[in-house]
Every structure is written in C-alpha cells, then in structure tokens.
Amino acid sequence: MSLQEYRRKRNFTRTREPSPEGSARGKGRAIFVVQLHHASHRHFDFRLQVGDVLRSWAVPKGPSYDPKVKRLAVEVEDHPVSYAGFEGEIEEGYGKGHVDTFDRGVWSTAGDVEAQLLKGHLTFELFGKRLKGSWHLVRSGKKERQPSWFLIKATDAYASDIEADDLLDAKMRKSTRRAQKATSAGTATKKVAATKASSAKTKSRRVSVATLTKAAVALEGTRKAKASTDFFPPQLARLRETPPQGDAWLHEVKWDGYRILASVAKGKVMLWSRNALPWNDRLPEIVAAIEGLGLESARLDGELIALDAQGRSDFNALQRTLSGDMQAPLAYMLFDMPYLQGYDLGKVALAQRKTLLERLLSHAPRLLSYSGHNLGDGDQVFAMAMEQKLEGIISKRADGGYRAGRGDDWLKIKRLESDEFAVVGYTPAKGSRLTFGSLLLARPDADGGWTYAGRVGTGFTDEMLRELGKTLTKAGSKTPSVRIDAVDPTLRGALWVPPTAVAEVYYRGIGNKNLLRQPSLKALRVDKAPGDLRDSDRKPAPKRGAKAATASKSAAAAAVASPVVITHPERVVFPDDGITKQQVVDYYRAVMPWLLPAIADRPTSTIRCPGGIASPCFFQKHVMARLEHVGTARLKEETGAQAVYLYPRDESGVIELVQFGAVEFHPWGSHIGSPDIADRVVFDLDPGEDVEWRRVIAAARMVRGFLDELGLVSFVRTTGGKGLHVVVPLNPGADWATVKGFARGFAETLAQLHPLEFVATASKRFRRGKIYVDYLRNGRGATAVASYSLRSRPGAPVAVPLRWDELGKLKSGNAFDLATVPKRLARLRKDPWEGIDAVKQDLEAVNETLAAR
C-alpha cells in the first residue's frame, strides 16, 4: 500500500489536510473512521486502518443498517492514519468542501485482511458510536477506472431500517446544506421510533437484571456492600500437574489471553488489567458491551482473548490485534461475578455465582461470552482439552468464595510445560539476526534476588526483535545482575540489565545444571512486570511470619555504581538517630527506581542541610557551582525575570545533590519540556492542633469521594509529617491558571460544605482543631514533597505512596522512615501508584461540567 496517489492529488501548501511525511503509524488497535464530506457531491468517506494506511471508499448515500440495501462504495486512494483526526474545511483544489467526523472506533475481522480484499469480499465488525455490528464490503464485477464495491450490513442484532442521515447530530445537520425538510422530518420520525425501541429494550433488560438481583439476594453469603469502579484484586490459581478428583470441583477451559477485571458503579464501566492499569481506552467495544447489560453496579472477572479460525484463543493474535498489526475478533470470556447490583457475592458458592452470570449473559452481545464448566470428571475434561490442543484447564472448588490473591481453591493444569521468567540480559546479534541473539532469563530466588535460568533464542518475530531492541540493547553491563549457579560458556560476551520484562517460555524440562532445556519463546507478557513473578503460580503457599529481603539488596545488585564521589560519609545528618550521610546515600540508591520517576526532568527544589538537620537548612532551587550531573534550565520566575533552575535527570544527579547536603526533594507539578503545563494537582491535608489522625484519614477519603464524583481518579501518600497528600494526575495537562483555579475552588467549596472540619485559609488562628486544605502547591513554581523523599526531621521519616485501602492501618503521617521503607518495597507486589501516568483525565472537561451545573 502506498500514499503516492494521496500525495499526488494534493498541494500541502494550500490544504489543511495532513501530509503523509512524518505521519506516524497509529499505535494500538486498528481504527475505522467515517467522515461526512461536503464536496462537489456530498458523500461519506469510509476508511479502515490496514497496517500503516487508511484504506478508503467514497459512499455517496452513506452506510445503511438495512441488510437488503447495497450501498455503492467507490474505492479511492489510501490516506495516512493521521487523516482520521481531520475535520474542517478543504479550502480549494481536490476535495474542496467541509469535512465532519461521522463516526470513529475500532474494527476487527476473523480472516486475513489483504487476502479478503484481494478476493473481493471483506467481512468485518465495527465498534463505533453510530456504526456497530457486522458488515460486508463486496467488490462489483464491473470493470471501472475506480474499483466499485458495495457496503452491506450483515443480518445481526443491529440490523434495522436506519440510514446514515438518521444518525447526524446538530453539527453535521448544520453542515449539510443540501438536506431537505422532508428528509429531516423522516429522520426525526425514525429517531423517535428508534429511541422508543431502545427505551423498551432497556426497560426489558432492567427487569431481567432486577429478577437476577432478587435471586442473588436469596443466596447464602450475600451481603450489602458499596459499589465502586475501583480496581479489585483478582483471585489467582496455583499450578498443579493433574486435575483434582471428585464432584467438589468444577473445571473450565484455560483461556490464553489477558486477565481483565470490570468494575461497574452508577452505570459507569471501568476495565482493569490484573496489575490495576486502566484499559477502557484499549477496549472501547468491551466497555460498550458491558454498558449494554444495563447494570447499575457489578464486578466481573474474565479473560480477554482473540479467536482463531477454529474458535480457539490465540495469544499472539491478541497481542498483534491490540498493537494494531491484526484485526482479529476479540471476546471477553467471563467466568466469575463477585458483586452484583449493590451486593457482595464474595462468600457465595462459586457454582451459584456462575449460574447468575450465565443468566446475565444469556442475551449479551457476542463480545461477552460465558465461560462454561464441567462439574467433576476432571481427568476427562483435561483429556478433551489435550485433544483440542487447548492451553489447559482451570479447576475450582464449586463451593468456594472469591478471595483475592493466590490460593488452593483455584488450580491451573497446563497442556504444555511453560513458565514465566524475567528478562535480565541478552547476547549480541550474529549473522542476519536483528538487535540481539538471545534473551537471558532469571527466576526469583528465596533471598529476594534473581537466579539465572537459561537463555531463549527461538520463537521471536521480527517485530518482537525490533521492539525489544529499542529498549533492551540501549544499555547493558558485562557484570551479571543475577546469581549464576552453573558455568555457561555461551555467556561470554553477554550483556546484563536489571529485570526489565517478562517472557513466557515453553521448555522440555530442567537440565542437571538447573537450566531450561530447549526453551522457545511463547510470548512477551506486556501485562506483567518482573515483580509479579515473586507471586508465582508454582510457589507453595507462604508460611506466616516469613520475612522478605530488603529492596536495597536487589537494587544494589542491579545498579551500576554512581560516578559521584561521596565525601565525609561519616558526617551525622540525623543526630538523634545517629544516621550518617552514607546511610542517606544508601537509602536513596535503594529507592532510586521508585523515587526517580517522580522527580526526573522536573524543576526540583531541595532542602539542603550541609551540617545535618540540627543545623540551619535551606531551600535550593537554582543551580549552584560545581554541579556536574544535574540538569539545568532557564525558566521565567513569577516576577517575569529568568533564572536557571536545577533538575535531576538520573541517579547520578540525585546522588550528587545528596553529596551537596540535600535531604529532601520537592518537584514542580510540570516537566522541564513544558513548564507551563501542569500534570499534577496536589491537595495537602495539614491538620491543626488537637486534630486526631483518624480525622485526617477520614478527610482524605472524603476528598477522594468528591473527586470521584467529578470523574477524577486520585492517589494518596503520607507526607512524612502530620498530614496526607491527595494527588490527581492530569493527562492531558492544563495551564497553571486553570489548575490553581480548580484547586482553590475545590478547597473553598470543601471548607464551605464542612466548616467544622476544613479550612481553606493559611492563617494559623483559623486552623486550630481543623484540617487546612492547602491548594497553594498548585501554582507555577510551587512544589510538593516527592514520593520516597526523606524529611529533615528527627526519625528520618519518608513521604510514601499508599493504596487507598492501606490508610486505615496507619498510625500517623510519619509512619515510614529510612529503615522501614526499603523493607516495605521488598514486600510490595506492585507499585501502589502503578498506572498513575496512564490515567487519562482532563481538567478542562471537569470545569466545563461544573460550569454547566
């Protein structure tokens, strides 16, 4: 496919249409877009992303939902993927006229796209706001200068007599100058009818959900509970070689895909990965399908899969579809429902939960499928899975509840021997091989470190080699970052890195050197991080009281020594605690992987205590002499003058600042590259005298609740002092005036609604017995303490990110210190703030919503 014809027909000095030069390929799912084009002849441009381009057809009358109607679709030149976002006027030349976006979404097809187009019949499915369901593009037999096709709606649940013009909104109607009054009247009539039909369908569905809820309430173990769209930790399975026996167990197919959790509250759906990353943007059609169930609140658990031609799950097809390289049909295979319509079903027997789930999905869209099971006969079910070459089975206690984490109520029995390993290095490429020869693998050991497990050099696609090569081969040390128990001569020339990715590998047993035999790559598990392997499905249940190794050990094993020389390491920084400068350096090195993302490339003020915290300390935000490893940037001050600010770029810069006496780090809420755009809002909850800690916790939860009502996800951390920070990530960011205005309005509204609890003024005389909501940290040049920063106070307390459900366990805002934080990090299975940079929420949209109220 080429954009040569697209380029030839346009003068890019005159048209606003995007030039193909520099137009990046779309990332992620393959998209479709339909644009209403008021050219010399009004028509709809129907475009499907295939690889790097949008394959395009001009449809004069637009798509029809009537399967009996064949709509002419004239094939036109391919367009760049960036054209999907184009709207507005084409002033002159080819295609002159106004362009509106009629619909946009993702699409899929069960077969090879190019093969179907070459054959002249493409069958596909659309997941848009206006266009849904299955469709056909069939090539006409007529030989014409521009190939003609027919766009035809398939007979499915979405088929109706609705036409494209029936679905125009006010903006598109205004742009359609040729619309006739009779057509508008007909459109209004059809839309009213469609609305009534939709309303009747929704009412019918709600009746069935009400019936289902009534059945759930009657079950033993059901209890009332508050709904939330928050992530809920999933129940996990332990690996076993053979299926359990007896009718106490039910057996399901082991689907080979990504675990996806769905939380529904107030009708809003949130999809989560097993690592608590939001997935709504990647799976809009799944979100829409769940919304179509008519649920007010629920929790659903299942596996996202891609189906091959035989209807089996295909993991590689799933990864390629999510990356945009394929358009395989997806399905969300649901196997559990631990919450429904305001009721927690976690203590209800699994078999009863599945009965409710099956009834719920009996009339669900095709995208939502029920994962059935057999009761008993585990050996026969497993044998059948082997015959059909499935991944394996999952065996579950039929009377079991839903419990977060790994246990013996869910067991995994796999057809092929495979396991997951951390990628810890690579061997150089040889011959025609791209980027590297093989990946070096490691498994977690009992001491909190990693042990070399072998290398894998087969099973890679060229795309995998390229993608890994972009990151993996950018670094590497000849010193192993893991323990090696056996001599392996093939490792000469190998380069080692800290655990950086997870690879799932097939192998034929373990050799006598404890290395993998004949390993072959099955897949790169982008849904998992190396830390997840410490909770392996192969591990026995942990003994109570077992202690994990500290994070500093593994960090020290993996880290490259800093080039900064530490002088006077014996100098005491925290005199009451006897903590030296070297211990401060060691702490920051141990937490560096957690600290650095919060401060790297952000203008950062430090609190320097060159003589220790008992001597005078002071803020340092401007660059000073002798700094060699710290970044500098010339930024405008509030006064309008310019000054050179410092910012850490990497570990060396942080350690250099500590060498110069820095104890605390306070970054801006923006980056050096865009200092006028904030990507954080910080509410500092500062309790006055006589305010108990439980009130501070309650205040943070209240702030979270109000933010949630505004559609804003928030995170919480201790400050290392008396209070808490509630942090709101912004993506896209907003200018400082908008952020400060929102923060001030939020704080003042909170104080007005709860005057006995909160105050929004900094005056000390008003703060006694109340909690000051400090919004002043949200201005240009203002700072807030960084996560994992020490505080210059006795006890060496630390500002620490938390999960919201940890708040109730804390005794104070300075509950963590220099000694306990590395131990906490070693125990963590994942970052409490994991996914904060992936949250997409727009403050402008929130302000518009508030203005509309």
Residues designated catalytic:
254
HEC sequence for 572-616 = EEECCCCEEHHHHHHHHHHCHHHHHHHHCCCCEEEEECCCCCCCC
Provide Rg for the chain, Cα atoms: 30
* Residue 286 region by backbone torsions, left for phi larger than 0, else alpha for psi between -120 and 50, else beta: alpha
640 three-state secondary structure: coil
Q: Count the Cβ atoms, other than its own, within 10 Å of residue 148.
A: 16
Site of tokens 């303490």: 785
Backbone torsions φ then ψ of 617, nearest 5 degrees: -115, 160
Strands (E), 615-718: 618-620, 631-636, 642-647, 662-667, 677-687, 715-718
Q: What angle do CA 273, 802, 593 make, to 5 degrees?
A: 75
Strand ordering across the sheet containing 771-774 = 758-759, 771-774, 677-687, 724-735, 715-718, 801-802
Q: Using CA of residue 165, residue 167, residue 172, residue 174, what is the dihedral sign?
A: positive
Site of tokens 């984490």: 405
Give the Cα separation of 340 and 225 in Å (integer): 10
With DSSP H G I counted as helix, E B as strand and the rest as coil, what are the percentages for the chain, rounded to 5? 25, 30, 40
Give the Cα separation of 597 and 650 in Å (integer): 9
Does residue 401 contact residue 346 with C-beta atoms inside 8 Å?
Answer: yes
Two tokens at 140? 């006409």
Two tokens at 443? 């498994």
* Residue 386 region by backbone torsions, left for phi larger than 0, else alpha for psi between -120 and 50, else beta: alpha
Give the Cα separation of 82 and 206 in Å (integer): 41
Classify residue 141 by its DSSP letter: S
Give the Cα separation of 415 and 386 in Å (integer): 6
Give the Cα separation of 632 and 657 in Å (integer): 13
Give the Cα separation of 658 and 589 in Å (integer): 11
Two tokens at 281? 């943007």
Classify residue 309 by its DSSP letter: T
With a CB cutoff of 8 Å and minimum separation 6, the contacts of 65 are: 153, 158, 159, 160, 161, 162, 163
Give the Cα separation of 495 and 491 in Å (integer): 9
In our burial notation (b when 16+ CB lie closer than 10 A, e otherwise), range 475-499 reads: ebeeebbbeeeeeeeebeebbbbbb
Strands (E), 81-157: 88-90, 97-108, 121-127, 132-139, 148-153
In our burial notation (b when 16+ CB lie closer than 10 A, e otherwise), range 121-133 reads: ebebbbbbebbbb
Does residue 100 contact residue 169 with C-beta atoms inside 8 Å?
Answer: no
With a CB cutoff of 8 Å and minimum separation 6, the contacts of 478 are: 494, 495, 496
Give the Cα separation of 317 and 328 in Å (integer): 7
Q: Count the Cβ atoms, other than its own, within 10 Å of residue 593.
A: 18
Give the Cα separation of 811 and 693 in Å (integer): 7
